[in-house]
């Protein structure tokens, strides 16, 4: 399993993988040797946020609130 974003891009650049990213993700512009191709007509995907119950980190709570306010469906 590859967890680092740059390592994932290396696999794509080497022709060993493909990547599917959200429309608004601008990180893909960081590599001049890769291009993005829109996928037309594909069904939307579900988004899930999982965290530990009672996680004291306020960033987790704030991210959840921001995601809920931003996502539709």
Domain region containing 59: 5-70
More confident residue, 63 or 71: 63
Q: Please state the pTM of the whole predicted model.
A: 0.52
The size of the chain, in residues, is 73
The average pLDDT across 19-43 equals 78
How many domains is the chain built from? 1
The average pLDDT across 37-46 equals 82
The average pLDDT across 62-72 equals 82
Sequence-distant (6+) residues with CB within 8 A of 63 are 49
């Amino acid at each position: 399993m590859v967890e680092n974003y740059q390592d994932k891009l290396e696999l794509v650049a080497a022709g060993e993988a493909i990547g599917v990213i959200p429309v608004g993700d601008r990180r893909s512009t960081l590599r001049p040797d890769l291009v993005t191709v829109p996928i037309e007509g594909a069904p939307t995907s579900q988004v899930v946020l999982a965290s530990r119950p009672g996680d004291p980190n306020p960033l987790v709570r704030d991210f959840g609130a921001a995601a809920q306010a931003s996502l539709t469906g």
